[in-house]
Structure 1
């Protein structure tokens, strides 16, 4: 027995054991890939290795975060005594001056959309008028209710909605999308296993909505030009389909889906069609593209005020072709001990100031200003595309019509190019499937700034060599990299712990 014990621990047997285990795992992977990926992480040795690697990555991320804020004043506890106004102003000044990327210099893609000092002064002047208002209490703040209704009406008119079209003001594009998905799920409550069909370019808020509301998301790989693959669409429609979604444009590629074709298919199968125009609302409606409620078959549209509408953040709208769909997003509890409770959206109490300042923004701009902004954006977009097309090794994905230009390559490591541009203080949006990055043009950009961007790309492309390393997905809103696909979800979850910051250490280990 002692011999057998010693023999089992010889290097040859260990290697044989590893090979056998590998073959067994490979066979299991072929038979049950997803199940294995979940269960293999439970093996103590493998779990320990994954935990160690995850901890290293998270520690790096936290270190980066700490470096970004190390010069800022921080209060973990409520001060015992009040702090003077002058001191608080000093703290605010300190906070304001710290940006990882200073969006004011035009080197940031998207994120901040309105460069308008006059508008900023107007917002500052109007702030105190409604800073204590709460739209939840409609009887206390009727003027906020009126302004909210005005905003919805303006948005409906922008999208050529008639008297049958209705909608509500929301806190952002994600809430608008969540409400749309929830509304269709409940509208088709007789369908026990509801499905929504989208293109692979659809915004991730639809993934979130389906996760929240137990809806199956059917994702169709987009065409090579980034558009919705309508041929594949018809093969995915079945008795459980409750919604088709098109984007105008998609966030990642900036490509507008063929809404007319999608609407024809939706009508053919009597299925609703949602158009996600969150990012493009105040651009596409000033173009020659009429992808709106004038198209028969479009049953809902999500659209943001707070991007190219230049309103304060927290302003969006969800619109429906008929009230019978809208009423499914309402929450009503007639038996609550605090009285009858009802809300139109997910939020309860919220700031009426966002509504008021958004209302003021649209009045301040008018159609003329929005049309001028659209023309400026498109001029810059055309310039950027023309210049990128002259750089050997790079190409533009599809035919972007509005503000987002996605850049990829089949000659160089495009992710490495993005990293090198980051070192030159360009904050870009990284995309995957296909690999690349996009520039989302805003009023902070100019032709001169884009020329510097193009100059930096021209300088970097010749010196970047192809490599065989796998790309590293980037977290939406950050450039942090994850190098091991086996631990992506753990890393991202713990990344969010670091973002939220308070009492959220990884694996009960202190992340120094």
Structure 2
């Protein structure tokens, strides 16, 4: 008789002399430990992240800590509501329907009043991003198209086939801009976030079809937060890869090390939102092919500028479907496509990927139901307004406007590099210029620029601010005024200790120092709550 294998001998020795209940207990405990270890390894968050969250969750249960947090949160919530009360002082607050409807003139007047409530003159070029052109000519064409189609719904293809045609043409025009072939396809969405979510949904379902039960995405830390939103909605795991602190682009070797058997998608930005730098899409494409994983290129912010840069005389690295590893792209028509807010495109190299984006219900009593995007009913007016904008502007004017925007961007970048006390993050690829300081609190600079009428974007990890240059900034004197104000404020910050940062910018600074990120999340939720807050008559300004 053959001798027992060594592992079996070891097991027998382990259980030798044990009572049956002890054997059962040890076996059950071992199985539970293995299940726990497996769940820990396959969780949607890294082990260290989950342990840190669990520690802070426990800490917040300590009575003294809980009372202190609740007191501070109540104070923050009151401050947010007080800001709204101050902003809406003297404005009619409507909590119920008017007994008799307002006249058309009264409605128009109230809308004009509502648009004047903001702090910034958004038509003058004082905003970073947000409003991408101020051409009354383009706006008139888009609004006329919307007014004709406001009540259409492309879900009903038999009723509104013309709206479906316009959507198909928007997709095809965008695919051609990004050098997609005849198989390249996509859909119009309501914005960059939905475009990104649709791509994540498509490649999650593609991973499911390949037997990957718990897919994960590999993202640069600078990838848009819409990917994290998609992960939360779609139950995806995320692996975040840090970027090089000099170039502010992702290290491709680090991405390679992060790819595993569960990877359903890797991401590159062209450019990223915080710093305006462009990841090495060419190298990521090669990696995608080597590892047989899809690569999504997020060109939501600058795609409709980058597409025209070569013709406008501004070089840009290849970032689109000319690279064989690029499986999908997202680009916002409501940014540098100059369409009204509420449209974007998500594009795929082949129809198989787009099929994974769709949702189809076959057993519903209401009939077989299929929809291409998150929405069922969709705003045909927005699609028509986007189509009208694109065909009205046309390629040559897009090229001209891109050149005007990029010329101003390069002027601002060059002038900011000359200002003592600040430095530029990386190499701006399209229209975003980001800067920081090693000599003073950069959020103090943002606060002082805010007082001069500039609305800029605050950045964290590391601290910085950026301006996203739009066609509104090409108006006469805007760029020069901006540079002069930055130079003056930088000089003030270098010469004086002008006190602590106040308001929203103070929150950005403090938020980075809070180890328990769930507290930052709670503060953000209170801020979002305040957007829906209507002051009561008894509220004091």
Q: Which moved more, 1:259-268 or 1:410-419?
A: 410-419
Larger radius of gyration: 2
Secondary structure at the aligned position of 1:188 is classed as helix
Equivalent in the alignment of 1:152 = 171
Matched, 1:125 2:152: no
RMSD: 2.7
Distance 1:222-1:146 versus aligned 2 partners, 3 A rule: same
| Partner residue of 1:448 out of 469, 477, 481 | 477
CA distance in 1, matches of 2:50, 2:386: 55
State how far apart, in whole Å, the 2-side matches of 1:31 and 1:116 are. 49
Q: Distance in 2 between matches of 1:473 and 1:159?
A: 42
Q: Offset of 1:438 from its aligned partner?
A: 0.4
Query: Once structures 1 and 2 are overlaid, which stretch shifts more, 144-153 or 405-414?
Result: 405-414
Q: 1:210 to 1:31 in 2, by over 3 A?
A: closer
Post-superposition offset of 1:171: 0.8
Instruction: State the partner residue of 1:251.
Output: 273
Distance 1:229 1:96 in 2: 44
Contact 1:250–1:256 (8 Å) recurs in 2: yes
What is the alpha-carbon distance in structure 2 between the residues aligned to residue 426 and residue 136 of structure 1?
41
Q: Deviation per CA, 1:148-202, whole angstroms, max 9, x where unpaired? A: 0010000000010001111111111100100111111110101122111111110
Is contact 1:472–1:481 with CA below 8 Å preserved after alignment? no
Name the CA shift for 1:502/1:187 in 2 (closer, same or farther; >3 Å).
Answer: farther
Secondary structure of 1:445's match?
A: helix
- Corresponding residue SS for 1:338: coil
Q: How does 1:82-97 map to 2 (within 5 A)?
A: 82-97=101-116
Distance in 2, matches of 1:67 and 1:336, equals: 50
Aligned to 1:215: 236
Higher RCO by CA contacts (8 Å cutoff, separation 6 or greater): 2
Q: TM-score, normalised by structure 1?
A: 0.88
What is the aligned partner in structure 1 of residue 160 from structure 2?
A: 141
- Pair 400,472 (structure 1): closer, same or farther in 2 beyond 3 Å: farther
Q: Which runs of 5 or more residues in structure 1 are unaligned?
A: 1-28, 504-509
Counterpart for residue 17 of structure 1 = none
C-alpha displacement of 1:71: 3.4
Please give the alpha-carbon distance, in whole angstroms, between the structure 1 residues aligned to 2:243 and 2:502. Answer: 21
Q: Deviations over 1:410-452 (max 9, x none)?
A: 1221111111111111100001111100000011113621221
Query: Which residue among 463, 469, 473 is the counterpart of 2:492?
Result: 463
Deviating more after overlay: 486-495 vs 355-364: 486-495
Distance 2:181 2:95 in 1: 52
In structure 2, do the counterparts of structure 1 residues 174 and 471 end up closer, same or farther at CA, with 3 Å as the change threshold? farther
**More off after superposition, 454-463 vs 291-300:** 454-463
Q: 1:117 to 1:236 in 2, by over 3 A?
A: same
Task: Give the alignment partner of residue 213 of structure 2, picking from 167, 192, 202.
Answer: 192
Residues in 1 aligned to 2:371 and 2:502: alpha-carbon distance in whole angstroms: 42
Tell me if 1:55 matches 2:87. Answer: no
Change (3 A) 1:341 1:502: farther
Which residue in 2 is equivalent to 1:294? Answer: 322
Check conservation: 1:127, 1:353, Cα contact below 8 A: yes
Point out where structure 2 has 5 or more consecutive residues left out of the alignment.
Answer: 1-47, 311-315
Deviations 1:252-308 (A, max 9, x none): 110111100001111111111000011112111112333111111100001111000
Alignment counterpart, residue 530 of structure 2, candidates 493, 498, 507: 498
Contact 1:62 1:511 (8 Å CA) reproduced: no
Q: 1:236 aligns with which of 249, 258, 261?
A: 258
Q: Does the CA contact (< 8 Å) of 2:80 and 2:526 recur in 1?
A: no
Q: Deviations over 1:231-260 (max 9, x none)?
A: 211111111111110011101110111100
Q: Out of 384-393 and 478-487, give the one that drifted further.
A: 478-487
Look up the match of 2:88. Answer: 69
The aligned counterpart of 1:284 is 306
Q: Secondary structure at the match of 1:90?
A: helix
SS at match of 2:97: coil
Q: Please state whether the residue corresponding to 2:528 is helix, strand or coil.
A: helix
**2:91 and 2:300 mapped to 1: Cα distance?**
34
* Cα separation, 2, equivalents of 1:462 and 1:94: 37
Distance 1:397 1:474 in 2: 22
**2:267/2:298 contact within 8 Å kept:** yes
